[in-house]
Amino acid sequence: MRPGAARVKRRRGRAARRGLAQAGRRPDVARTWETDLRAARGYGGALRRRRGSGERAFMQARQEGLAALLRLQQADMDIARVRRELAGLPQRRVIVEAREKRRAIEQKREKVAALKEDAERKLAGVGEEDALLAGKQRAAQEAIDAAKGDYRSVEARTKEMNGFAKRRATLEAELDRLGAELARIGEVEAQVASALVAVQRQEDEATAAFQEQGGALKNDEARGMAERARIAETLPADLLEAYEKTAARTGGVAVALLQGNACGACRATIEGGRLIDLKASAPLGVCPACKRLLVIV
Angle at 195 between CA 189 and CA 197, to 5 degrees: 105
Q: Alpha carbon of 67 to those of 57, 63, 211, 293, 297: distances in Å?
A: 15, 6, 36, 13, 12
Cβ atoms of 292 and 246 closer than 8 Å:
yes
Nearer Cβ to Zn ion, position 153 or 250? Answer: 250
Stretch that binds Zn ion, among 70-78, 98-106, 247-255, 284-292 (CB under 5 A): 284-292
If the CB atoms of residues 16 and 265 are measured against Zn ion, the closer one turns out to be 265
When asked if residue 290 is in the footprint of Zn ion (CB under 5 A), the reply is yes
What is the SS3 assignment for 288? Answer: coil
Q: Does 287 bind Zn ion (CB under 5 A)?
A: yes
The CA distance from 231 to 78, in Å, is 14
Torsion of CA 24, 27, 30, 34, to 10 degrees: -20
State how far the Cα of 189 lies from the Cα of 110, in Å rounded to an integer: 10
CB of 219 to Zn ion, least distance (A): 35
Task: Specify the length of the chain in residues.
Answer: 297
Among 263, 270, 278, 284, binds Zn ion (CB under 5 A): 263
Segment near Zn ion (CB under 5 A); pick from 130-138, 142-150, 209-217, 256-264: 256-264
Q: Least separation, in Å, of the C-beta of 267 and Zn ion?
A: 7
178 binds Zn ion, rule: CB under 5 A = no
d(C-alpha 67, C-alpha 297), whole Å: 12
Comparison of 240 and 255: residue with beta carbon closer to Zn ion:
255
| Contact region with Zn ion (CB under 5 A), list: 14-22, 200-208, 222-230, 285-293 | 285-293
Q: What gap in Å lies between CA 66 and CA 255, rounded to an integer?
A: 10
**Shortest distance (Å) from residue 104 CB to Zn ion:** 50
Smallest distance from Zn ion to CB 289, Å: 5
Looking at 59, 94, 143, 266, which residue binds Zn ion (CB under 5 A)?
A: 266
Range in contact with Zn ion (rule: CB under 5 A) among 24-32, 43-51, 247-255, 262-270: 262-270
Q: Considering beta carbons, is residue 234 or 261 the nearer one to Zn ion?
A: 261
Alpha carbon distance 180, 118 (integer Å): 14
Q: Which residues bind Zn ion (CB under 5 A)?
A: 263, 265-266, 287, 289-290
